[in-house]
Chain A
Amino acid sequence: MANVPADLKYAKSHEWVRVAGDEGTVGITDHAQHELTDVVFIELPEPGRKLKAGESCSVVESVKTASDIYSPVSGEVTAINKPVVDNPSLVNTDPYGNGWFFKIKLSNASELTALLGPEQYRAQITGA
């Protein structure tokens, strides 16, 4: 049963965002890493890059496939997680903690209401 923390918001495309003030931390969900299995490479957006909600901003590669990652919110990338680039398996072992991808300064906090809450996301991944 995938882990779906209660304090996060979720995109249908399996990214999560943790919001503190006007800063969000973004990663991919436990369900997503479980589907991907062994992550071998991660490409992250450059700090300073401006993203729109739903924009493709990162690539996660497993042994067999490459997958686009879409930013759940609009804003400017303020930091990226270098340890996850050096050690991609963190995405599999700790998707909500040390496996985070990037931090983003939200430009439009009202977008958060359009994201899924934990119950809705859980319903999506079990109902699918």
Chain B
Amino acid sequence: MKKATVGFPTDTSQKYYWFPFPKSMSMRERVCLNRPRLLNMKRTPLFAAHQKLGGKLIEFGGWEMPVQYTSIMDEHLTVRKAAGLFDISHMGEISISGTGAEAFLNQTHTNDIRKLAPGQGQYTLMCNERGWVIDDLYAYRLGLEDFLLIINASRIEPDVAWLEQHRASFPNQAGLIVQNVSDATGAVAVQGPRVAEFIDKCFPGPSIDGTAVAQARDLKKNQAGVWLCEGAKVWLARTGYTGEDGFEIVAPAGAIETVWNKVLETGQPHGLKPAGLGARDTLRTEVCYPLYGHELDENTTPIEAGLVFFVALDKGDFFGRSVLAEQKAKGTVKKLVAFRMTDKSAPPRPHYAIWSAGPNPAKIGEVVSGTQSPSLGFGIGLGYVPPEFAKPQTAIEIEIRGRRAAGLVVPKPIYRKAD
């Protein structure tokens, strides 16, 4: 029987084995996988909190992070029905400020940063000259010439290197300040339909900076404001990575444990539970949000990934613009599709082959994300196929351990809340 693949949400070079270990795996590897500290993992300021809550700790992009506390299924469903609290302190933060910050950001990112008022954020991408994605991220305007980028944990070094490289050749860059503040910054995400019930109890009163609102729940999608949490300035942004309502909260590293405890305590009576990276991945897959290393990488463009909405071709020049404009006009060789399994089968996983269905089946692409959907109860995934196979309702087959199982291309998002 073909060897089962094992996988976990992370960059594609990582694998996490739950059990049993492949016979080929050395003793050291097995020990290291069960004892992440031996591999010199980094820990967020919330590590002690995870241990106290009984989080199952695994290696993720060089960090020792909780994949789950109770079970992925339970945490996923809790986020959809009530609320979940995620540690996202491993993510990176870059501060960009001073004269020319706006122009610099517009040159190095695909979306139009000029659209942002102070206290507003946008999803955007950094591409190189060939239009290939260096990272996908959120950019916030904190003040007139003061911006904060929230970037993927696995991409901190390449992003900083890219920005530093281009900052050096940016005209009039004397006043421009580009700072990697990742180590000094912590963040958590609180997500779910019941978050609006308790967020004001957690952070009472009006915002003191950013978007002016009388209470936190008045922040509209992509708006951000500042509240004090025991003396520390904390940014609340009405955004998330789960498809549910919620906030991402950014605070100084020294204050993030206080924020975590405050949110957990205030939210628990409303059904809030801690949730790990496992649920974070199943939640985002259900709503087809990309994860760098899966849907996006340095050989993929935002157009191929279906993110043309976040590419502002009309704003002026930016890295990758000419390639992306051509792809938008003429089409691409590969296209990202969402799909579901249609017969009872094992779930699709990253790297499984996608085949065309019908009389002359052929291998047409590869799965980049896949899982059993906790909300829907069947296998779902995302993958790249040639454009002629990308229409919803196209029948496809997924190769699972040497046999092909029936699937169907579906519109995004795969999971949609009932109105």
Minimal beta-carbon separation of B70 from chain A (angstroms): 8
Judged by a CB distance under 8 angstroms, whether B372 is at the interface is yes
User: Is the Cβ of B7 less than 8 Å from the Cβ of A65?
Assistant: yes
In the complex with contacts A37-B68, A128-B34, A65-B6 CB distance below 8 A: yes
Judged by a CB distance under 8 angstroms, whether B393 is at the interface is no
* B34: A residues at CB distance < 8 A: 128
User: Is the Cβ of B6 less than 8 Å from the Cβ of A63?
Assistant: no
User: Is the Cβ of A61 less than 8 Å from the Cβ of B19?
Assistant: no
User: Is the Cβ of B18 less than 8 Å from the Cβ of A61?
Assistant: no
User: Is the Cβ of A63 less than 8 Å from the Cβ of B282?
Assistant: yes
Judged by a CB distance under 8 angstroms, whether B417 is at the interface is no
User: Is the Cβ of B372 less than 8 Å from the Cβ of A57?
Assistant: no
User: Is the Cβ of A41 less than 8 Å from the Cβ of B345?
Assistant: yes
Distance in angstroms between the alpha carbons of A52 and B19 in the assembled complex: 20
User: Is the Cβ of B7 less than 8 Å from the Cβ of A63?
Assistant: no
User: Is the Cβ of A68 less than 8 Å from the Cβ of B346?
Assistant: no
In the complex with contacts A61-B372, A63-B72, A56-B1 CB distance below 8 A: yes
User: Is the Cβ of A67 less than 8 Å from the Cβ of B6?
Assistant: yes
Chain A stretch 1-42: residues in CB contact (< 8 A) with chain B: 12-14, 32, 35-38, 40-41
User: Is the Cβ of B19 less than 8 Å from the Cβ of A14?
Assistant: yes
Chain A stretch 37-79: residues in CB contact (< 8 A) with chain B: 37-38, 40-41, 43, 56-57, 59, 61-68, 70
User: Is the Cβ of A66 less than 8 Å from the Cβ of B19?
Assistant: no
- Size class of the contact patch on chain B: 20 to 34
User: Is the Cβ of A66 less than 8 Å from the Cβ of B349?
Assistant: yes
Minimal beta-carbon separation of A33 from chain B (angstroms): 10
Distance in angstroms between the alpha carbons of A66 and B20 in the assembled complex: 10
Judged by a CB distance under 8 angstroms, whether B281 is at the interface is yes
* B4: A residues at CB distance < 8 A: 56, 59, 61, 66-68
Distance in angstroms between the alpha carbons of A37 and B7 in the assembled complex: 15
Indicate with 1 or 0, residue by residue over B3-23, a CB within 8 angstroms of chain A CB atoms. 111111100000011111010
Q: Quick one: which of A37, A43, A56, A67 has the most chain B CB within 10 A? A: A37
Q: Quick one: which of B8, B18, B281 has the most chain A CB within 10 A? A: B18
Interface of B is mostly: loop
A41 contact from B16, B18, B372, Cβ within 8 A: B372
Indicate with 1 or 0, residue by residue over A59-102, a CB within 8 angstroms of chain B CB atoms. 10111111110100000000000000000000000000000000
Which residue of A is nearest B20, CB measured?
Answer: A13
Distance in angstroms between the alpha carbons of A41 and B372 in the assembled complex: 9
Distance in angstroms between the alpha carbons of A65 and B72 in the assembled complex: 11
User: Is the Cβ of B19 less than 8 Å from the Cβ of A64?
Assistant: no
In the complex with contacts A38-B71, A68-B4, A128-B34, A62-B18 CB distance below 8 A: yes
* B346: A residues at CB distance < 8 A: 41, 43, 59, 61, 66
User: Is the Cβ of B73 less than 8 Å from the Cβ of A38?
Assistant: yes
* A43: B residues at CB distance < 8 A: 346, 401
User: Is the Cβ of A64 less than 8 Å from the Cβ of B7?
Assistant: yes
Distance in angstroms between the alpha carbons of A122 and B349 in the assembled complex: 33
Which residue of B is nearest A42, CB measured?
Answer: B346
In the complex with contacts A38-B71, A56-B1, A63-B372 CB distance below 8 A: yes
Distance in angstroms between the alpha carbons of A21 and B18 in the assembled complex: 34
Chain B stretch 6-53: residues in CB contact (< 8 A) with chain A: 6-9, 16-20, 22, 34
Q: Can you name 14 A-B residue pairings with CB atoms under 8 Å? A: A38-B72, A41-B346, A56-B3, A59-B401, A61-B372, A64-B7, A64-B9, A64-B72, A64-B282, A64-B371, A66-B5, A67-B18, A67-B20, A68-B3
Pick the 5 closest A-B CB pairs, nearest first: A13-B20, A66-B4, A37-B71, A40-B372, A38-B73
Chain B residues with a Cβ under 8 A of chain A: 1, 3-9, 16-20, 22, 34, 67-68, 71-74, 76, 278, 281-282, 345-347, 349, 371-372, 374, 401
